[in-house]
Structure 1
Amino acid sequence: MTHIDSATAGPVPDAVRGDGLDARLVVERSSFRLDVALTAAPGDVVALLGPNGAGKTTALRALAGLTPLTGGHLRLDGASLDRTPPESRPVGVVFQDYLLFPHLSALDNVAFGPRCHGASKSEARAQAARWLDRMGLADHAGARPRRLSGGQAQRVALARALATHPRLLLLDEPLAALDARTRLDVRAQLRRHLAEFEAVAVLVTHDPLDAMVLADRLVVIEHGRIVQEGAPADIARRPRTDYIAQLVGLNLYKGRAEGHTVRLDAGPGITTTEDLTGPAFVAFPPGAVTLYRDRPTGSSARNLWRCEVAGLETHGDQIRADLTGELPLAADLTTVAAAELDLHPGATVWATVKATQTHAYPA
């Protein structure tokens, strides 16, 4: 069953109208315009991804009421929040730097929210104690923020946000302040807590792994607009912009498909296993590229390009070569292979990719 919303003059599903988040966030400034539509059902975790300056943090601040909308709408569980002040919204926020009160214990930091919502001091502290226990921090209830590790502070901030029972939880780069070892553990804990959260959660992150692990759906923003959204696996397999391709570690090209060949808008054709017609993307991972110093004669690869090494950098336990020439691309190879090929900036190489290692899809 659907209802007609007079504001849109179109059918609005009950799930969007009655429960969860239904927003169109329009924020105009002198040199920037954000125009992003977001919907999510209770229990959904949505990650906003995008390069610096794309508008992710502006969107998060608009949801929190910290940046006023200049257009659009914001509804949560069917209620309009357009004119609701930040402190009156059923919204919890975990800021990037956590912003814990330095003079309060972990217990009193968490109790602050319930106190602001009218709970007595004893009841607020009892609620806070339950939340800290749930976060595995019962033994740190009396500790002030400076005595907490980064992971512990992050969990206190999350408990403080959840203690008010928000219908929308906002997380701004929730793992950015953590070192690599702590990040792995806290990411797993945060995933568990978000899985138990019964309302909508929206997180902003620059880290594709955080987004892939924590979110049910990714929304990619560039220049204030959504360029792609969907399940993490779908976006990782079918990126539609260079930014997304780099984020998930793929070489991405756009051209016109004619059967098993995609002829690029600027460059050669790429042979693929898919049979397509019309505008298409073609992608393949840097690890699918094999490099030779001389033109190979016995290779079965259908794709062969003459390139030049523009740069080399360590990428995990491998070397990533940045190549220019007939087809600009990134190639991953072992340190031993790079040494055997005597790779260096300016060196000429031949790059091959098997058709079976490419993936073509409609643009």
Structure 2
Amino acid sequence: MTPPPTPADALPPEEPAAPADDAQPPQGPPAPDNECRTGGAGGNDNPAEGRVPPTHPHSKAGLNAHLVIDRTPTFRLDITLTATPGDVLALLGPNGAGKTTALRALAGLTPLTRGHLHLDGTDLHDTPPEHRPVGVVFQDYLLFPHLTALDNVAFGPRCRGATKSEARAQAQDWLHRMGLKEHTTTKPRRLSGGQAQRVALARALATHPRLLLLDEPLAALDARTRLEVRAQLRRHLAEFEAVAVLVTHDPLDAMVLADRLVVIEHGRIVQEGTPADIARHPRTDYIAQLVGLNLYKGQADGHTVRLDAGPAITTTEDLTGQVFVAFPPSAVTLHRDRPTGSSARNLWHCEVAGLETHGDQIRADLTGELPLAADLTTVAAAELDLHPGAPVWATVKATQTHAYPA
């Protein structure tokens, strides 16, 4: 697997030292004998043999995995992931849902309790991590601090049997692709966050992995750098010809970077689909919060949905049976007195539970007849004299709701 593919708890006990010109590359985690298998010292022209499982014909190309892992006596991860070459799959979910466990299982760092893991038709279940055609970019990048950007990227090809000159030539090419040709001799401590992220990505891609794993790859960046690097990462992923799996807590990262989202809660997949479909049809409170919607479940009879816990909501859709109803906080209009002459079909008496800044607006958390979130301008909040405990009336037009089968 593309080095260094291990989180902190799987790293070797000591940092690797920078190699001399005639030395073997630094030790790469986590080979069983703790060595980077290059077939000999730096001048060896013979590639390492048997390091990567054979790739089967592309009729079976892509990822086909059923991951079952008993992490604790009370937690089991049980998910199925499939993707074809060129797909970018994003795993989303709250803390403790099992996203990182899934990523570690794909990398070979956490063994399966049962299930299977096939990549390009090859069974990787019993393949050690360092032998898998898998590249990993971790949240803190794990760049070797004593190596230059060039030698960090060259490390992977050296471990796959390339000569020193071949590995450095490949690394030079990848750094140029990443827009880092001026930083080949720079060490990690002198790289910006965005530059370090691109070096880590180049190192992961340098061995041409058939599966690329990205664990919160933008989390360590500030807001301005994140915007720029996200755009660059999207371009690089669009050019990647194999499968990429992204773990993130940021819905915007997932929406921008991924072709398909897989939402995991309590070790199970609760929803999957395109970003647009999930954003329009959330099926759990967690997803609704991610995409910024008020979400309710109830029984539909025509244009009226009687909520499981709460009042009725009038919608434009004509449905029957169990449905979800969603609408954005921006669709909610607040009044201090009960409105008269309003065209809104939905009216609820509520109380302000809390206020917080949300972008350039104020988000009001409301309780009462219908718990909901409402967005309004700072001026409107001041004019309404909103504060915790203030009584308000909330209205939502039927045309601003969206109902769909549960």
Of Structure 1 and Structure 2, the greater strand share is in: 1
For the residue of structure 1 that corresponds to 2:194, the secondary structure is: helix
For the residue of structure 2 that corresponds to 1:127, the secondary structure is: helix
What is aligned with 1:26?
Answer: 68
What is aligned with 1:332?
Answer: 375
Task: Check if 1:99 corresponds to 2:167.
Answer: no
Deviations 1:268-312 (A, max 9, x none): 000000000000000000000000000000110000000000000
Contact persistence 1:170–1:201 (CA under 8 A): yes
Q: Normalising by structure 1, what TM-score?
A: 0.95
Q: Residue 31 of structure 1: CA displacement? A: 2.3
Query: Kindly tell me: are residues 294 and 205 of structure 1, through their superposed partners in 2, closer, same or farther at Cα, counting changes over 3 Å?
Result: same
Task: Check if 1:177 corresponds to 2:220.
Answer: yes
Query: Residue 345 of structure 2: which of 274, 299, 302 is its match?
Result: 302
Query: Residue 258 of structure 2: which of 206, 212, 215 is its match?
Result: 215
Structure index of larger Rg: 2
Q: Give the total of aligned pairs.
A: 350
Identity of aligned residues (%): 87
Root-mean-square deviation (Å): 1.1
* Aligned-partner residue type, residue 65 of structure 2: A
- For residues 75 and 165 of structure 2, what CA distance do their matches in structure 1 show? 47
Contact persistence 1:15–1:41 (CA under 8 A): no
For the residue of structure 2 that corresponds to 1:291, the secondary structure is: strand
Q: Residue 259 of structure 1: CA displacement? A: 0.3
Which ranges in structure 1 are unaligned for 5 or more consecutive residues? 1-13
- For residues 228 and 150 of structure 1, what CA distance do their matches in structure 2 show? 33
- For residues 252 and 71 of structure 1, what CA distance do their matches in structure 2 show? 36
- For residues 69 and 59 of structure 1, what CA distance do their matches in structure 2 show? 10
What is aligned with 2:94?
Answer: 51
Which ranges in structure 2 are unaligned for 5 or more consecutive residues? 1-55
Deviations 1:132-166 (A, max 9, x none): 00000010000000000000000000000000000
Structure 1 residues 60-209: aligned runs within 5 Å: 60-209=103-252
For the residue of structure 1 that corresponds to 2:272, the secondary structure is: strand
Contact persistence 1:16–1:40 (CA under 8 A): no
Query: Kindly tell me: are residues 360 and 15 of structure 1, through their superposed partners in 2, closer, same or farther at Cα, counting changes over 3 Å?
Result: farther
Deviations 1:86-125 (A, max 9, x none): 0000000000000000000000000000000000000000
Q: Normalising by structure 2, what TM-score?
A: 0.85
Contact persistence 1:73–1:82 (CA under 8 A): yes
Query: Residue 300 of structure 2: which of 257, 267, 285 is its match?
Result: 257
- For residues 199 and 17 of structure 1, what CA distance do their matches in structure 2 show? 14
What is aligned with 1:11?
Answer: none
Query: Kindly tell me: are residues 37 and 15 of structure 1, through their superposed partners in 2, closer, same or farther at Cα, counting changes over 3 Å?
Result: farther
* Aligned-partner residue type, residue 373 of structure 2: A
- For residues 399 and 255 of structure 2, what CA distance do their matches in structure 1 show? 25
What is aligned with 1:8?
Answer: none
Deviations 1:231-271 (A, max 9, x none): 00000000000000000000000001100011100000000
